[in-house]
């Protein structure tokens, strides 16, 4: 079955510290992987995506993620967190085309940033 | 860019009434639009997939007679919650897909529905 697991429901980091949000997926075909960020009461903003090629992808706001096929993971990282990064982060997996084109979302990780 | 808007951003309605939510792709034509529901502190749950000019495909467990979806044009999809009840209160988010980018979805800002 297709699924996305975000093991950490809630993470708190200090401003300026590094961040890693975990994401593991289960998908029968070649996955397309996404990280989205959601501020309270807002829609989703795409941070970055992986389709193919270089397994380390750069996104907006200084975020990056690394696709590791052997570990079925797509963890999100940022070297230095800013207070404005406090939000909910969702990992998602999608298929290549047709009926499998739906996105499957993880349960999200809520990031809090301490001053 | 690929901008998706939703209207209204929030709505309060009385139990038993119907409410319509609009989803528009502002700068592209969307062959497919999706409707999601999000409960507080939870993830997005896909309700239905809407293709222009055809009937929506609903996910298992979603009542198609209660959540009416119409995708009348390449830039507009509507979700009508019929005979709303307090348990229908939720955050509804739409997304749209461009024909030249068949995997990416562009999300609207969401609509907060409260049924009293």
H or E segment at A113? strand A109-114
Give the 3-state DSSP-derived string for A48-85, with helices as H, strands as E and coil as C.
EEECCCCCEEECHHHCEEEEEHHHCEEEEEECCCCHHH
Let me know: does B112 contact B105? Beta carbons within 8 Å.
Answer: no
- Which residues does chain B have within 8 Å of residue A105's beta carbon, measured at their own beta carbons? 43-44
Q: Is A46 on the interface with B (CB under 8 A)?
A: yes
Per-residue burial over B14-40, b = 16 or more CB atoms within 10 Å of its CB, e = otherwise: eeeeebebebbbeebebbbbbbbbbee
CA pair distance B38, B112, nearest whole angstrom: 10
Instruction: Give the pLDDT confidence of B20-79 residue by residue, as tens digits.
Output: 999 999 999 988 999 999 988 788 899 999 988 888 999 999 999 999 999 888 999 999
From A9's Cα to the closest Cα of chain B, the distance in A is 10
pLDDT confidence band for B100 (50 / 70 / 90): confident
- Which residues does chain B have within 8 Å of residue A111's beta carbon, measured at their own beta carbons? none
From B44's Cα to the closest Cα of chain A, the distance in A is 7
Cα A36 to Cα A30, B3, B37, B86: the distances in Å are 20, 15, 16, 29
Instruction: Pick the residue from chain B with its C-alpha nearest to A99.
Output: B49
pLDDT confidence band for A41 (50 / 70 / 90): confident
Do the strands B10-13 and B111-115 form a parallel or antiparallel pair, or are they unpaired? parallel
Q: Is A108 on the interface with B (CB under 8 A)?
A: yes
Cα A86 to Cα A8, A102, A113: the distances in Å are 15, 27, 6
Can you give the pLDDT at residue A96?
Answer: 59
């Amino acid at each position: 079955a297709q699924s996305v697991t975000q093991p950490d429901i809630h993470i708190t980091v200090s401003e300026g510290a590094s961040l890693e949000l975990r994401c593991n997926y289960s998908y029968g075909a070649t996955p397309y992987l996404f990280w989205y960020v959601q501020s309270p009461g807002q829609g989703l903003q795409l941070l970055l995506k992986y389709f193919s090629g270089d397994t380390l992808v750069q996104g907006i706001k200084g975020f990056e993620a690394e696709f590791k096929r052997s570990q079925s993971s797509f963890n999100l990282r940022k070297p230095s967190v800013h207070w404005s990064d406090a939000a909910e982060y969702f990992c998602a997996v999608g298929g290549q085309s047709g009926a499998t084109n739906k996105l499957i979302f993880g349960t999200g990780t809520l990031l809090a940033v301490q001053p | 860019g690929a901008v998706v808007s939703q209207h209204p951003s929030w709505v309060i309605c009385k139990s038993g009434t119907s409410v319509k939510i609009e989803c528009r792709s502002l700068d592209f034509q969307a062959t497919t639009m999706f409707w999601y529901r999000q409960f507080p502190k939870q993830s997005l749950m896909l309700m239905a997939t809407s293709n222009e000019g055809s009937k929506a495909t609903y996910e298992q467990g979603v009542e198609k007679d209660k959540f009416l979806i119409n995708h009348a044009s390449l830039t507009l999809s509507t979700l009508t919650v019929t005979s709303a009840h307090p348990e229908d209160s939720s955050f509804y988010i739409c997304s749209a897909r461009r024909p030249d980018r068949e995997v990416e979805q562009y999300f609207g800002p969401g609509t907060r529905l409260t049924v009293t």
